[in-house]
């Protein structure tokens, strides 16, 4: 799918990780996983917004 439509692929990945963050466990939060993925998602969303222009 990445080869066919990289923009859609990134949008799907953002959705998947947002869903994961919503269901993160206490351990995921305490270990910093949620903070790491939140930062990653912000970067990807910024990239997607730049590509839309």
Residue 1 lies in a domain: no
Q: Is the whole model's pTM more than 0.85, yes or no?
A: no
DSSP states of the chain: -TTT-HHHHHHHHHHHHHHHHHT--HHHHHTTHHHHHHHHHHHHHHHHHHHH-
Q: What's the pLDDT tens digit per position in 24-48?
A: 999 989 999 888 889 989 999 999 9
Residue 49, token pair as written in the block: 């917004």
Provide the number of structural domains found in the chain. 1
- Position 46 scores a pLDDT of 92
Q: How far apart are CA 24 and CA 7, in angstroms?
A: 26
24 in a structural domain? yes
Domain span at 16: 6-52
* Confidence (pLDDT) at 52: 81
| HSE toward the beta carbon, residue 35, CA cutoff 13 A | 6
């Amino acid at each position: 799918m990445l080869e066919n439509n990289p923009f859609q692929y990134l949008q799907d990945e953002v959705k998947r990780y947002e869903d994961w963050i919503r269901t993160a466990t206490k351990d995921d939060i305490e270990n910093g996983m949620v903070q790491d993925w939140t930062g990653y998602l912000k970067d990807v969303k910024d990239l997607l917004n730049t590509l839309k222009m």
